[in-house]
Amino acid sequence: MQPIDVKNDPRRPYVQVAASIRAAILNGELAPGARLPSTAQLAEFYGVAKVTIGSAIRALREEGFVASRPGAAVWVRDQAALPVPAGEDHPLAGTAAYLFEAGHLKHVSRAGWLLLGIPQPETVAEHSFRVAIVGMTLAGLEGADVGRTTALCLVHDAHETRIGDVPSVGRAYMTTAAPEAITAHQTASMPDHLAKLFQDLTAEYEAGTTIESKVAHDADKIETLLQAAEYQAQGYDTGPWRETSIDALRTEAARQLAQAINSTEPRAWWAAFAASYHELRASAQGRSRQQLAGHSQPAEAAKAD
């Protein structure tokens, strides 16, 4: 079991303790049937109150990782990988449902591009993937937490499984539930600590006050700028999309990246790759001819003898 960091980890202490014990069970450190240390020993090890240990054990028991009896020791269940009694729902069934729902984003088109007449624009999932890559880049440039920024980018549009992608010109004519409320509904059947994880990400992104959330918002706009440049190269007039994306940027790193994007041909990466490919192929063919010539010399010498 690994110690916890009460001061720097934003999660509640009992969630941290449960995560530490859960990891020890899953990695085999605590084998099926093994007894956990006493509440007092665990409280001393983790540096928390006994009541915190009790809350952590209760969470693990509800998830199916451990079992206990009043006044008796706590032990790892024989089937430590979330056993499910016959006729009962799996404790992670709600989590699985959320993951299936997230997959629906692969079928939700980015509606704004339909206004340009693009018949099959990219999906929300495709958009979110590159937003995450951009977010990693901007986080590195701005000194933000890369992992947190990437997580914010990946889930920033997850609520659109319920309401679809509403283009900016349509938002003035309709009212939808707040993303925080939608995320709460989406994660209602998850274990509490998992639900809080996704809900906190949504709340942080929507608040837009942390450096990570500001970078994530910029990543969303930069990805739109990239896509607009690609559609422009295909003959579509994406000028308004490019202008509004740049105007919305908050960080200096994003503004600098936007300038680089606007001065770069979308297919330039392919041209350089294609050129190097032909050079490598020519070089490889030259080496092959040299090798063949080297093999033929002994045979010709033998004929001469």
Q: Establish if 168 belongs to a structural domain.
A: yes
Claim to verify: residue 254 and residue 127 sit in the same structural domain:
yes
Quick count: other Cβ atoms within 10 Å of Cβ 254? 26
Q: Establish if 299 belongs to a structural domain.
A: no
Claim to verify: residue 45 and residue 178 sit in the same structural domain:
no
Claim to verify: residue 110 and residue 64 sit in the same structural domain:
no
Domain that holds residue 187: 96-262
The secondary structure of 186-212 as a DSSP string is HTTTS-HHHHHHHHHHHHHHHH--SHH
pLDDT given for residue 298 in this prediction: 56
Q: What is the token pair recorded at 75?
A: 């032990």
CATH number at residue 137: 1.10.3210.10
Residue in 81, 73, 165 with CA at minimum distance from that of residue 125: 165
Residue in 261, 234, 233, 266 with CA at minimum distance from that of residue 245: 261
Q: Establish if 106 belongs to a structural domain.
A: yes
pTM here is: 0.66
Claim to verify: residue 115 and residue 247 sit in the same structural domain:
yes
Cβ-proximal residues to 177 (8 Å cutoff; 6+ apart), any chain: 162, 163
Q: What is the token pair recorded at 232?
A: 């422009």
Q: Establish if 7 belongs to a structural domain.
A: no
| Residue pair 33/43 in contact by the 8 Å Cβ criterion | no
- Give every residue of the chain whose pLDDT is below 50, as ranges: 80-81
Q: Which residues pair with 123 in a beta bridge?
A: 109
pLDDT given for residue 249 in this prediction: 97
pLDDT given for residue 122 in this prediction: 95
Rounded CA gap, 157 and 145, in Å?
A: 20
pLDDT given for residue 233 in this prediction: 95
Q: Which residues pair with 74 in a beta bridge?
A: 68
pLDDT given for residue 80 in this prediction: 47
Claim to verify: residue 135 and residue 179 sit in the same structural domain:
yes
pLDDT digit string, tens, across residues 31-63: 888 899 999 999 999 999 999 999 999 888 887
pLDDT digit string, tens, across residues 130-162: 999 999 999 999 999 999 999 999 999 999 999
Claim to verify: residue 52 and residue 112 sit in the same structural domain:
no
Claim to verify: residue 154 and residue 35 sit in the same structural domain:
no
Claim to verify: residue 51 and residue 113 sit in the same structural domain:
no
| Residue pair 5/13 in contact by the 8 Å Cβ criterion | no
Single-letter code of the amino acid located at 176? T
Residue in 263, 236, 39, 228 with CA at minimum distance from that of residue 127: 228
pLDDT given for residue 25 in this prediction: 84
Residue in 29, 30, 15 with CA at minimum distance from that of residue 67: 30
| Residue pair 76/30 in contact by the 8 Å Cβ criterion | yes
Rounded CA gap, 1 and 88, in Å?
A: 30
Domain boundary among 262, 277, 298: 262
Domain count for the chain, please give it: 2
Claim to verify: residue 39 and residue 158 sit in the same structural domain:
no
| Residue pair 11/193 in contact by the 8 Å Cβ criterion | yes
Q: Establish if 300 belongs to a structural domain.
A: no
pLDDT given for residue 17 in this prediction: 92
CATH number at residue 44: 1.10.10.10
Claim to verify: residue 138 and residue 189 sit in the same structural domain:
yes
Claim to verify: residue 110 and residue 65 sit in the same structural domain:
no
Claim to verify: residue 210 and residue 238 sit in the same structural domain:
yes
Q: Establish if 86 belongs to a structural domain.
A: no
Q: Establish if 88 belongs to a structural domain.
A: no
